[in-house]
Amino acid sequence: MRRALAGCFALSVAAPPLGVFLVLRRMSLMSDVLQHGVLPGIAVGAAVGGLSVWAMGTGGMLAGLAVALLAGWFARRTGMGEDSQLAGLYLVALAAGVALISAQRGVDLTHLLFGSVLAVDNTALLAMAAAATLTLPVLAVIWRPMVLESLDPGLPGGAMSASGNGGIWHSSFLALVVLCVVSGFEALGTLMSVGLMMLPAIAARHWSGSLAGQVSVAVVLAIAASLLGLLISFNVEIPAGPAIVLTAGGFWIVSLLAGPREGLLRPRNR
Amino acid sequence: MVATSAVSGRRNLCQAHPGRRGSRHGVARRHLGFGMTQLSPPLIGLEQVTLRRGGRDVVRDLAGSFAPGTLTAVAGPNGAGKSTLLLAMCGLLPVASGRILRGGMDPRSIALLPQEGRLDRSFPITCRDVVALGWTARLGLFRKIGREHYAIADCALASVGLDGLGSRSIGALSAGQFQRVLFARTIVRDAPVILLDEPFSAVDATTEADLMAIVRLWHRQGRTVVAVLHDLDLIRAEFPQTLLLGPGLLGSGLLGSGLLGSGAHVWGATNEVLTATAIRQARLRASVPPRMEIPGGSPSGTSMRSASDPPVEAAA
């Protein structure tokens, strides 16, 4: 339980900033695509390396990166929108993953999909902490290029770099997202490991109008949701994943209704 | 027509450079003098440049050069490849054939002010930060943007008439104010070559006049300025050189060849390029359906005709 808490805290610090960028760049559903797309990788990893976190994590990373980058490549080559390619790829990946996992004996599908507090052993905790430790400095480094690219999506670096350098930042960012998604799957399960990434970020928009402010609020909300969610999961005997995500969702509903910015119940004073 | 604005709060930093006080142009001249160490733009030459966008040629066999320090307008009907040309000139779009010569200058030294609709104005960032991010071009992506850089960004904001609005989010600005912010960012970039993509398309007359003053200042400082514009009256009044792009392969079977030279581009002094015949030919070669030709005037006013144009004839 304590290990799960520590792991979720690590995730709560690393994932929400990524979520804020995803929301600002209107890529919120990308997180959903990725969390389902990693499933076949996890299944293959489990088949090859047993239930070790490293085997499944590596498989998941590879699958997630493949989905993200392949979709972009398909989109550029065929001229179709990236969203349709992502949808196609992740549905195939999800179905393949479920099929692969079901075909293996000895792997509890429920645990993989929904996560389990008791499954967070020291290795898993180490993995989550390592992911967070990797994400934060890399995010700090790519922060300014990400801002420039979000501001002007057509011109990478604001007309600074000649043709194509912007792709590096975008790919690094996606790699970080996959890393956080995969690192959370032990505790939260693959169905909901992006819950801590997205819901606090979406809620944060109702509290702050600046980038730094939104990131700060999102991290605070994620930590609170982890704490409260794990407590609920422990006492009410539902899996950790849904408990934490429901708590985060509750925070979001409250923010949506009563938040100072763009709230539903605020008087419209434009 | 051009209002003056007082410089507030940053007086001690702006006075680091001597100059007249009081008017906004005094401020502009003062802080625009910073860092202009090698402001000698090279000649930018285009050798039989062909550009492709979306799988088809939009600019074909364009040849010519932008001499250092010239002020050139790029005109032409929609789809003629004007924005594409600017992207190619600053190295963001590869040429399909031909060469763009920049005299050894790094393409990143060319500042591009993109079209108004391209930028995401819902991003939560203040005006001051957008302008200060212009320093990234000179400092690189990872060096710290310090207080002195922010001070110059504030000066730039003051010179475009947005003094005191630095902390406002860009989502709260009007179109004219946002265009001023982009001009301030271009000022901070201090580039020897400046490309403007339809800078006045969404702004009112006052903003246009204020920003044209900045363009004239850049011209006086010896920078090469190229601007894509639709307003022919403005081009005739302010821009000594014009490049009139024909519509490329659109409607290429309509008229005989050789009327405007190869590729239907005309490049030279404005009063020689923007003749009534050339404008009419460019518009006709864009295959406007005959029923839209209204003899005696177009609905949009003087955007493509001058008062001395003879009445439009029907397409041959």
- What residue ranges define each of the domains in chain B, with the CATH number in brackets? 1-287 (3.40.50.300)
Closest Cβ opposite residue A152 in set B90, B119, B169: B119
Q: What's the rounded mean pLDDT across residues A90-95?
A: 88
- For residue B37, pLDDT over 80 is answered with no
Instruction: Flag whether A264 is in a domain.
Output: no
- Give the lowest-confidence range in A51-65, B7-21, B200-214: B7-21
Set of chain A residues whose Cβ sits within 8 Å of the Cβ of B142: 141, 144
Domain that holds residue A159: 2-191
Closest Cβ opposite residue A163 in set B93, B111, B133: B93
**Strands of B97-101's sheet in order across:** B56-66, B44-53, B97-101
Set of chain B residues whose Cβ sits within 8 Å of the Cβ of A157: 136, 141
For residue B87, which amino acid is it?
L
3-state helix, strand, coil in chain B (%, to 5): 35, 20, 45
Does A155 sit within 8 Å of B124, measured CB to CB? no
Q: Are A186 and A3 in contact (CB under 8 A)?
A: no
Q: What's the rounded mean pLDDT across residues A54-78?
A: 84
- The pair of three-digit structure tokens given for residue A159, joined into one six-digit string: 């007309």
Tens-digit pLDDT profile for residues B157-179: 999 999 889 889 888 899 899 99
Residue B62: helix, strand or coil by DSSP? Answer: strand
Closest Cβ opposite residue A160 in set B93, B119, B137: B137
Predicted ipTM of the assembly: 0.75
Closest-CA distance of chain A to residue B118, Å: 7
Query: Which pTM does this prediction carry?
Result: 0.75
Does B142 sit within 8 Å of A154, measured CB to CB? no
Residues with Cβ within 8 Å of B50's Cβ and at least 6 positions away in sequence, in order, are B57, B59, B60, B61, B62, B95, B96, B97, B98
Does B141 sit within 8 Å of A150, measured CB to CB? no
- The pair of three-digit structure tokens given for residue B176, joined into one six-digit string: 């004219």
Q: What's the rounded mean pLDDT across residues B58-72?
A: 88
Q: What's the rounded mean pLDDT across residues A81-87?
A: 82
Distance CA B189, CA B208 (A): 21
Instruction: Flag whether A213 is in a domain.
Output: no
Instruction: Flag whether A228 is in a domain.
Output: no
For residue B271, which amino acid is it?
N
- For residue A193, pLDDT over 80 is answered with no
Instruction: Flag whether A219 is in a domain.
Output: no
Q: What's the rounded mean pLDDT across residues A149-156?
A: 66
pLDDT band at B281, cuts 50/70/90?
A: low
Into how many domains does chain A fold? 1
- The pair of three-digit structure tokens given for residue A193, joined into one six-digit string: 């490991």
Instruction: Flag whether A227 is in a domain.
Output: no
Does B120 sit within 8 Å of A152, measured CB to CB? yes
Tens-digit pLDDT profile for residues B92-125: 888 888 999 988 888 888 899 988 777 888 888 9
Closest-CA distance of chain B to residue A252, Å: 20
Mean pLDDT of chain A: 83
Does A152 sit within 8 Å of B92, measured CB to CB? no
- Give the lowest-confidence range in A41-50, A182-191, A237-246: A182-191
Q: What are phi and psi of B86, to 5 degrees?
A: -65, -40
Tens-digit pLDDT profile for residues B122-150: 888 999 999 988 888 888 777 888 899 99
Set of chain A residues whose Cβ sits within 8 Å of the Cβ of B94: 163
Tens-digit pLDDT profile for residues B257-276: 333 334 567 788 888 777 77
CATH number at residue A47: 1.10.3470.10
Question: Sign (positive/negative) of CA torsion A18, A22, A27, A32?
Answer: positive
- For residue A251, pLDDT over 80 is answered with yes
Rg of chain A over all Cα atoms, to the nearest angstrom: 18
Continuous segment of H or E residues that includes residue B65: strand B56-66
**Core vs surface per residue A222-251: b (16+ CB within 10 A) or e:** bbebbbbbbebbeeeeebbbbbbbbbbbeb
Mean pLDDT of chain B: 74
Residue corresponding to tokens 């992740």: A90
**Core vs surface per residue B50-61: b (16+ CB within 10 A) or e:** bbbbeeebbbbb
- Give the lowest-confidence range in A21-35, A163-177, A249-263, B67-81: A163-177
CA dist A67 to A20, A35, A43, A174, B54, Å? 21, 10, 15, 11, 25
Closest-CA distance of chain A to residue B124, Å: 5
Residue A29: name the closest of B229, A37, B120, B27 by CA.
A37
Residue bearing the bigger pLDDT, A159 or B86:
B86
CA atoms within 13 A on the CB side of B115: 13
Q: What's the rounded mean pLDDT across residues A181-207?
A: 86
DSSP letters for B87-126? HHHTTSS--SEEEEE-TT--GGGEEEE--GGGS-TTS--B
Residues of chain B with pLDDT > 70, as a percent, come to 70
Rg of chain B over all Cα atoms, to the nearest angstrom: 21
Residue B280: name the closest of B257, B255, B248 by CA.
B255
pLDDT band at B295, cuts 50/70/90?
A: very low
| Interface mutation vs chain A, best among B90, B100, B120, most A CBs within 10 Å | B120
- For residue A11, pLDDT over 50 is answered with yes
Instruction: Flag whether A235 is in a domain.
Output: no
**Searching chain A, which residue's CA lies closest to the CA of residue B140?**
A160
Residue A200: name the closest of A36, A27, A2, A23 by CA.
A23
- The pair of three-digit structure tokens given for residue A226, joined into one six-digit string: 């982890």
Q: What's the rounded mean pLDDT across residues B242-246?
A: 84
Alpha helices, DSSP H, located in chain A: 2-24, 28-37, 39-49, 53-78, 82-103, 109-114, 122-151, 166-183, 185-188, 195-204, 211-236, 240-258
